[in-house]
Structures are given as C-alpha cells and as structure tokens.
Amino acid sequence: MARVVVDVMLKPEILDPQGQAVQRALPRLGYEGITEVRQGKRFELEVAEPVDDAALARVREMADALLANTVIEDYTVRVEEPDPAQAAA
C-alpha cells in the first residue's frame, strides 16, 4: 500500500483572504517577518494497488473531477515514500 498526496492551492492570482487573515495574526503573536501566507488543502490517498503511472493518472483524474476546482485552484500529485523507521516498527 502506498500513499499519494494531492496538494491543492488557490491559483496565485486568486485572492486568499483566509491566508491574509493568518498572515495578519502572526505579528500579534510576536512572529515577525512573514510577508505572505497562502492557505491550501492536502489530501492523503491510501492506494491499495501499486502506484504506477496508470494509478497516478487516475489520481490526477480524481483531482480534476473532485479534489480541486481548476477554475480557481492548482494541484500537485506526489507519492509519499513510507518512513523506513515506521515500516520496521
């Protein structure tokens, strides 16, 4: 079993008022020097089959159809390698 991660972010030209609110909150907590925050979504898909090119193509289909709204969002797909320390445990 493998994990495929889909990260969804608003396109750069789309205003992100939530990210802006987070960015404005940081100095109030004493964290200076953060000039911009953009907020997105992360999906972790546990895939039963081996993750080959066909499986990744299917994940991209899912992202296009449901996980992201490509009118306003971009996404990236990547395979997350299992942590060897955890796998051994």
Partner 1 sequence: MTAHPEASGLGRIGVVTFPGSLDDGDARRAVRLAGGEPVALWHRDADLRGVDAVILPGGFSYGDYLRCGAIARFSPVMGKVSEAAREGLPVLGICNGFQILCESHLLPGALTRNDHLHFVCRDQRLRIENAATAWTADYVPGEAITVPLKNGEGGYIADEATLDALEAEGRVVARYLGGNPNGSRRDIAGVTNEAGNVVGLMPHPEHAVESLTGPTTDGLGFFTSVLKKLVTA
In the complex, least distance from residue 80 CB atom to partner 1, rounded to whole angstroms: 21
In the complex, least distance from residue 14 CB atom to partner 1, rounded to whole angstroms: 6
Is the Cβ of residue 4 or residue 68 nearer to partner 1 in the bound state?
68
Number of residues in contact with partner 1, rule: CB under 8 A? 12
Neighbours of 68 (CB within 10 A): 22
C-alpha dihedral (44, 47, 53, 54), degrees to nearest 10: -120
If you ran DSSP here, which 8-state letter would residue 35 be given?
-
Chain position carrying tokens 């972010």: 9
Among 12, 17, 33, 50, binds partner 1 (CB under 8 A): 17
Is the Cβ of residue 13 or residue 46 nearer to partner 1 in the bound state?
13
C-alpha dihedral (55, 61, 67, 71), degrees to nearest 10: 150
Q: Return the residues of window 26-85 that contact partner 1 according to CB under 8 A.
A: 66-67, 69, 71-72
Cβ(60)–Cβ(68) below 8 Å: no
Contacts to partner 1 by CB under 8 A: 10, 13-15, 17-18, 21, 66-67, 69, 71-72
